[in-house]
């Protein structure tokens, strides 16, 4: 199975998602999207595959979201995609694509829905939260 992750190594959620994929025994294609942004066509394809709107993919924290006024309703989907093309940091992450589908994996355990072997056992996130078993059940 081919697995692709649009990854930002500076993001804890993205690092946790990548680690969960690897704990499931898979080695994904890792695309550091800030270094190698997707084409406009690919970004639109990913948004459609995830079943979300461009607005739902926008990241606010640590981006020029507020400076650009992207919270305003006046922007069309096409315009929001153009902003993400001009400023890839606006693309929320991690996006994971597998044969089972595509998803914005926030929280990171959402990736388990896309893996062929979601039973990864106990997994401890960087913040100490433990996710265990198939389906990403959290334990205390």
- Rounded Cα–Cα distance for residues 36 and 58 (Å): 18
pLDDT tens readout for residues 16-51: 999 999 999 999 999 999 999 999 999 999 999 999
The residues annotated as belonging to the active site are 11
pLDDT tens-digit readout, 118-136: 889 889 999 999 987 555 4
Count the domains in the chain. 1
Rounded to an integer, what distance in angstroms lies between the CA atom of residue 48 and that of residue 39?
14
Residues with Cβ within 8 Å of residue 117, at least 6 apart in sequence: 24, 25, 26
% pLDDT > 90, the chain: 87
Q: Which domain holds residue 79?
A: 4-139
Considering only CA atoms, give the Rg of the chain.
15
What's the CATH number where 87 sits? 3.40.30.10
């Amino acid at each position: 199975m081919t697995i692709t992750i649009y990854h930002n190594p500076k993001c804890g959620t993205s690092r946790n998602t990548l680690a969960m994929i690897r704990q499931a025994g898979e080695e994904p294609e890792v695309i550091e999207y800030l270094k190698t942004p997707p084409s406009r066509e690919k970004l639109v394809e990913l948004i459609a595959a995830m079943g979300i709107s461009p607005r739902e993919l926008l990241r606010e924290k640590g981006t020029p979201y507020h400076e650009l006024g992207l919270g305003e309703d006046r922007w069309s989907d096409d315009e929001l995609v153009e902003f993400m093309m001009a400023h890839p940091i606006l693309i929320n992450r991690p996006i994971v694509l597998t044969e089972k589908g595509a998803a914005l994996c926030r929280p990171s355990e959402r990736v388990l829905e896309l893996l062929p072997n979601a039973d990864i056992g106990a997994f401890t996130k960087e913040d100490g939260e433990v996710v265990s078993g198939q389906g990403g059940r959290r334990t205390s």
